[in-house]
Amino acid sequence: DTEVTQTPKHLVMGMTNKKSLKCEQHMGHRAMYWYKQKAKKPPELMFVYSYEKLSINESVPSRFSPECPNSSLLNLHLHALQPEDSALYLCASSQSLDGNTEAFFGQGTRLTVV
Amino acid sequence: DAKTTQPNSMESNEEEPVHLPCNHSTISGTDYIHWYRQLPSQGPEYVIHGLTSNVNNRMASLAIAEDRKSSTLILHRATLRDAAVYYCILNFAGSARQLTFGSGTQLTVLP
């Protein structure tokens, strides 16, 4: 199983809503990532987890709150988002952070904030 | 952090080889060179990676300059399904700042 599964595939939420994005992998990977991608732009790194601990937070606003409850699961909790937060949110995983391993990406969650 | 520079776009004819260049003049000795591609409406997909020596796999070849300041991704016979954005990325060994994407090259394959 070499899949990274993201749910939901599409999400529409109001600015006062609270929602969560979910990412799951069963490859035994110990590094997991969240990216945000706007149309026609490259993915922007948001958060990196290594061994369930947050390693990198790329100055992401606090309305985005990541959580890694176990080695297979990564969540992104969303609260009080703005319309400009509408984007494709991608999750990825890799065996480690040693640079010599490939990363696997999910198909993303297309988020629309209204 | 070391950065990569790629052409914004390239065109190729179907069934011909494609050479996608990448400059990374500030690469450090422990940075791995990774290539990913992203097809429309999909997440990025790993293509190949290497450190110093040239690498081959079923998808592509990676040619790394002797001074490691540049590399070239080679698709041996382009197909229409290879049309994608190709990203050259320096994966910082031992650092949490992994997989930071640059602007990439949009490859168009002409039938």
Instruction: Characterize A72-98 residue by residue with b for buried, 16 or more Cβ atoms within 10 angstroms of its Cβ, and e for exposed.
Output: bebbbebeebeeebbbbbbbbbbeebb
Q: Provide mean pLDDT across the span A42-68.
A: 92
How far apart are the C-alpha atoms of B5 and B12, rounded to whole Å? 20
Q: Which residue of B has its CA nearest to A106?
A: B43
DSSP string, A62-91: TTEEEEEEETTEEEEEEES--GGG-EEEEE
Rounded CA-CA distance A81/A14 in Å is: 8
**Over residues A75-79, mean pLDDT:** 97
Question: What is the reported pLDDT for B43?
Answer: 95
Nearest Cα neighbor of B107 from B23, B43, B17 is B17
3-state helix, strand, coil in chain A (%, to 5): 5, 55, 40
pLDDT score at B97: 60
Structure tokens at B85: 């954005």
What residues in A contact B87, CB-CB < 8 Å? Answer: 42
User: Residue B81 — φ and ψ, nearest 5°?
Assistant: -75, -10
**CA R_g for chain A:** 13
Could you tell me the pLDDT band of residue A56, with boundaries at 50, 70 and 90?
confident
- The alpha carbon of residue A94 and the mean position of all alpha carbons in its chain are separated, in whole angstroms, by 13
Nearest residue to B22 (alpha-carbon basis) of B60, B74, B73: B73
Mutate to test the interface with A, among B9, B28, B98, B100 (most CBs of A within 10 A): B98
Nearest residue in A to B90, CA atom: A99
- Cα angle value A64/A97/B22 (rounded, 5°): 95
**Nearest chain B Cα to A100, which residue?**
B32
Of B46, B92, B94, the CB nearest to A103: B46
User: A-B interface: how many C-beta pairs under 8 angstroms?
Assistant: 71
Banded pLDDT at A105 (limits 50, 70, 90): very high
Q: What is the pLDDT of residue B101?
A: 87
Residues of A in contact with B58 (CB under 8 A): none
Mean pLDDT of chain A: 94
From the list A2, A37, A57, A68, the residue with the least C-alpha distance to B40 is A37
**CB within 8 Å: B101 and A108:** no
B21 vs A: CB within 8 A: no
Tens digit of pLDDT for each residue in B9-30?
999 999 999 999 999 998 888 8
Closest CA to B4 of B108, B99, B107, B93: B99
A92/B contact by beta carbon, under 8 A? yes
Answer whether residue B95 shows pLDDT above 80. Answer: no
State the pLDDT at residue B93. Answer: 64
Question: What residues of chain B lie within 8 A of the CB of A92, using their CB?
Answer: 43-44, 99
